[in-house]
Amino acid sequence: MPSRIEDYAMIGDLHTAAIVGADGSVDWLCFPRFDSPACFAALLGADENGRWRIAPTSGGRCTRRRYRGHTLILETEWETAEGVVRVIDCMPPRGAAPDLVRVVEGVSGRVPITSELRLRFDYGHIVPWVTVEGREVRAVAGPDALWLRASAPHEEGEGEILSRFSVSEGERVPFVLTWSHRAGDLHPGLRFRRARRLRAAHTARRVSAIRRREGGQYRRDDPRRANRRRPPLALPYG
């Protein structure tokens, strides 16, 4: 079931955007453009229409969340009985292909985490052909393909891709979801290098910030809530 509209925040790369709920679920995403059919459409239906939830296994709404500075890098934190964990979500400025990056970061203690990925193309109407090979997932349906690479193993079950692991203080577990127009367009070596670069340098901290200027100066920090962030204009449309 989708969350209340006020519980959602948005991330994007100027070409498309993802809607992230307070429970850690991406309930809306169109690849590769704003006007493309959605591969996550639970926002308008149910979980069966596609979503990607990363959160503590115990579940529940986040304790707090915020955007990092004046960027669209979203930080969501949970305080649990086992410790504190943070999920960092962003869509880096795209290169050869668009990416959705999610980084699980341990803040304190050791917290069990579950990633539940349900891919559905064309607003939930098309179930893709899914192949799981260790830490890589490939989903193909007609001309569309999605690749998931992570430093945690995956397993397939009941129509979704599951990843279960625990994260301790200081540990980071990156997930990279990449779209391709055809299954062969994205060379595996490119995906692997991208995932290693994320793990080594924590790309979520290094994504170039897209800031608005007022009077030629960057705005000072303000106390606005995460779901009130105003996104920049869409690049292809001016």
Task: Report the CATH number that the domain containing residue 194 is assigned in CATH.
Answer: 2.70.98.40
The Cα 43–Cα 30 span in angstroms is 12
Report the candidate in 137, 14, 2, 33 with the shortest Cα–Cα distance to residue 71: 14
* pLDDT tens-place string over residues 26-84: 999 999 999 999 999 999 989 999 999 999 999 888 999 999 988 899 999 999 999 99
Residue 169 pLDDT > 70: yes
Domain extent, residue 68, equals: 5-207
User: Residue 220 — pLDDT band, cuts 50, 70, 90?
Assistant: very low
The pLDDT assigned to 70 comes to 85
Of 6-20, 75-89, 194-208, the one with minimum mean pLDDT is 194-208
Mean pLDDT of all residues in 17-34: 95
In which residue are the tokens 């994320």 written? Answer: 198
**224 occurs within a structural domain:** no
**222 occurs within a structural domain:** no
The pLDDT assigned to 199 comes to 43
User: Residue 233 — pLDDT band, cuts 50, 70, 90?
Assistant: low
**104 occurs within a structural domain:** yes
Residue 103 is encoded by which pair of tokens? 């980084």
**236 occurs within a structural domain:** no
- Residue 127 parent element (H or E): none
Average pLDDT, the chain: 82
- Better-scored residue on pLDDT, 193 or 211: 193
Q: Quick one: CA torsion of 180, 146, 99, 191, rounded to 10 degrees?
A: -80
* pLDDT tens-place string over residues 199-218: 433 444 444 443 344 444 44
Residue 142 is encoded by which pair of tokens? 């007609």
Total structural domains in the chain? Answer: 1
Number of residues that this document lists for the chain: 238
Cα(first)–Cα(last) distance of the chain, in Å? 34
The Cα 174–Cα 103 span in angstroms is 4
**228 occurs within a structural domain:** no
In which residue are the tokens 């994504």 written? Answer: 207
User: Residue 129 — pLDDT band, cuts 50, 70, 90?
Assistant: very high
**226 occurs within a structural domain:** no
**40 occurs within a structural domain:** yes
**230 occurs within a structural domain:** no
